[in-house]
Amino acid sequence: MADMEDAPKPDFRNGVALDALPDGGMVLGRIDTEEAILLRSGDSLFAVGAYCTHYHGPLAEGLVVDDTVRCPWHHACFSLRTGEALRAPALDSIPCWRVERVGDKAFVREKLAGPSPRSAPPAPRSTNTPTSVVIVGGGAAGLAAADMLRREGYPGAVTMISADDSPPCDRPNLSKDFLAGTAPDDWIPLRTREYYAERQIELVLDSPVSSIDVRQKRVQLENGKQVEFGALLIATGAEPLRLDIPGTVESQVFYLRTFSDSRAIVAKAVTAGRAVVVGASFIGLEVAAALRARGIDVHVVGPESVPLERVLGTEVGRFVRELHESHGVAFHLGRTVGRIDGSRLTLSDGTGLEADFVVLGVGVRPSIALAEQAGLAIDRGIVVDEYLETSARGVFAAGDVARWPDRHSGDRIRIEHWVVAQQQGQVAARNILGQRQPFNAVPFFWSQHYDVTINYVGHAEKWDAVAIDGKLAARDCAVTYKRGDRTLAVATISRDLRSLQAERAIELAGR
């Protein structure tokens, strides 16, 4: 991208030679004062905004697939015809212009009207379009579903009921920039208050649902209220596993799931000098990196011998450990915490550590209590079919709670990834409206440690071969996890296009 950024940007109003645009190719340039890209897909030419509406990823480094472009950073997908954000994590559209071919040149003309929720044509209606939709959960899947219901032109009541005391927020940021102090508070809510009002999405916060009656079609809130539904989406996510460590004083031990949790850690970190993170998980290690950015002395304790080995394998796990050590993190692996006495922690092997506070990141469990009580089919998560419908008709589940039949691995899987949760919310919304769209996206997640981001596509619980193309130490590689001849997953560092290509290859193989 350095070359692209440094080169003078062509003005698309003056025309671009078609020779410069091979099929699937794109050119970065500008239209008046806006940066844009000109693309070719087959015989069609498109001009769209240059940056993703999620985190401003450079779309010129993305991948063109048919009449869409995919973002290199977290794999959002945009329509080249309308600019619509077809697939999360981006929720807002990008600008789009009309392109005219004159002789052997392409000229960009006027800007097209973007898709707006209000002007979007109603989706084809099935006879069983629900009278109202209730979403239990105000997280990734819940918000993406509410957003999609309105985008699809659903006119009925949409109520989102959340146990959180804040509106749906950018949860992945809570262990990264926000915790490190480099993202302000106002980056964290996914949407403004006005957004909910404009779209008539009723947001009910700080209101845990205590039970669901699937026959009577109503949910019971802890505060005594009842809400009836035509269709229901359960998107209750997951909750941190709690450890009962002898001697623990509540004010000293923190978990991280909500905006309030992250704020509480920040408040503590402001005056603290030493922290222990229990759990060398993705979240635990991201917390370690964020606390190091604040100059805090960080020790990580975990029972495993190599961090993240179960998900990423031994080589990548060792690399991640060394990366953290090079930033001053001390590891105490193969051990657990036996006791906490004030600021002193005693590990299972007798080692003593001093800490002003402790963050526990030892994993999560899906929040399925409501679904169990409602009598829905459960198998280490809420069982859903390929349309994300549970064992009760008109009741859907999405996100961390849902176990679905994954077309790519052939297994029923449940995954705790932000993008998967949002994409499932979007697909569930369409299916609530009777569109019968199977959920077949290739799972994707990212994790950030200092200036290193690991992107991962696919799903590999067990593999029999790992192939590393490039060098981990150089922070430039693609790691392929295979079973037999089949590529199950690919992890990349600094190879974003490769990650998109791997996603596409897994997609095509699963058809």
Enumerate binding residues for ligand FES (CB under 6 A): 52, 54-55, 57, 71, 73-74, 76, 89-90
**Helices 418-432 and 140-151, interaxial angle, to 10°?**
40
At 333, list the tokens. 């692996």
Binding of residue 163 to ligand FAD (CB under 6 A): yes
| Amino acid letter, residue 480 | T
Binding of residue 189 to ligand FAD (CB under 6 A): no
Please choose which of ligand FES, ligand FAD, none residue 136 contacts, taking the beta carbon within 5 to 8 angstroms, the exact cut-off set by kind. ligand FAD
Nearer to ligand FAD, 36 or 253 (CB): 253
Burial of 33 (0-12, 13-18, 19+ CB in 10 A): exposed
> Could you give the CA distance from residue 66 to residue 508 in angstroms, rounded to a whole number?
13
Smallest gap, in angstroms, from Cβ of residue 172 to ligand FES?
10
Please choose which of ligand FAD, ligand FES, none residue 57 contacts, taking the beta carbon within 5 to 8 angstroms, the exact cut-off set by kind. ligand FES
Sequential DSSP letters for 196-226: HHHTTEEEE-S--EEEEETTTTEEEETTS-E
Chosen residue from 41, 79, 236, 431 binding ligand FAD by CB under 6 A = 236
Binding of residue 329 to ligand FAD (CB under 6 A): no
Radius of gyration of the chain (CA): 24
Separation in Å, CA 297 to CA 133, 200, 290, 323: 48, 47, 11, 16
Binding of residue 456 to ligand FAD (CB under 6 A): no
Smallest gap, in angstroms, from Cβ of residue 99 to ligand FAD?
35
Smallest gap, in angstroms, from Cβ of residue 244 to ligand FES?
38
> Could you give the CA distance from residue 338 to residue 494 in angstroms, rounded to a whole number?
39
Please choose which of ligand FAD, ligand FES, none residue 137 contacts, taking the beta carbon within 5 to 8 angstroms, the exact cut-off set by kind. ligand FAD
Please choose which of ligand FAD, ligand FES, none residue 171 contacts, taking the beta carbon within 5 to 8 angstroms, the exact cut-off set by kind. ligand FAD
Nearer to ligand FAD, 107 or 282 (CB): 282
Please choose which of ligand FES, ligand FAD, none residue 423 contacts, taking the beta carbon within 5 to 8 angstroms, the exact cut-off set by kind. none
Smallest gap, in angstroms, from Cβ of residue 62 to ligand FES?
8
Residue nearest to ligand FAD (CB): 139
Smallest gap, in angstroms, from Cβ of residue 264 to ligand FAD?
13
> Could you give the CA distance from residue 447 to residue 454 in angstroms, rounded to a whole number?
5
| Amino acid letter, residue 291 | L
Produce one character per residue of 194-207: b if its CB has 16 or more CB atoms within 10 Å, e if not: ebbeebebebbeeb
Site string for ligand FAD, 370-409 (x = CB under 6 A): x----------------------------xx---------
> Could you give the CA distance from residue 342 to residue 8 in angstroms, rounded to a whole number?
60
At 50, list the tokens. 């240059």
Map the footprint of ligand FAD across residues 196-215, applying CB under 6 A: 208-209
Site string for ligand FAD, 117-136 (x = CB under 6 A): -------------------x
Cβ within 8 Å of residue 1, ≥6 positions away = 58, 60, 61
Pairing between β-strand 452-458 and β-strand 444-449 as defined by DSSP bridges: antiparallel
Sequential DSSP letters for 284-328: HHHHHHHHHHTT-EEEEEESSSSTTHHHHHHHHHHHHHHHHHHTT
Binding of residue 421 to ligand FAD (CB under 6 A): yes
Nearer to ligand FAD, 97 or 444 (CB): 444
Query: Could you tell me how many residues make up the chain?
Result: 511
* Contact in structure between 189 and 202 (CB atoms under 8 Å): no
Please choose which of ligand FAD, ligand FES, none residue 78 contacts, taking the beta carbon within 5 to 8 angstroms, the exact cut-off set by kind. none
Binding of residue 498 to ligand FAD (CB under 6 A): no
Chosen residue from 83, 137, 284, 302 binding ligand FAD by CB under 6 A = 137
* Contact in structure between 424 and 418 (CB atoms under 8 Å): no
Binding of residue 418 to ligand FAD (CB under 6 A): yes
Binding of residue 281 to ligand FAD (CB under 6 A): no
Map the footprint of ligand FAD across residues 436-455, applying CB under 6 A: 445-447
C-alpha 496: how far from its chain's center? 16
Contact region with ligand FAD (CB under 6 A), list: 39-47, 150-158, 159-167, 299-307: 159-167
Contact region with ligand FAD (CB under 6 A), list: 49-57, 98-106, 125-133, 233-241: 233-241
Contact footprint for ligand FAD (CB under 6 A): 136-142, 161-164, 171-172, 174-175, 208-209, 235-237, 256-257, 283, 367, 370, 399-400, 416-419, 421, 445-447
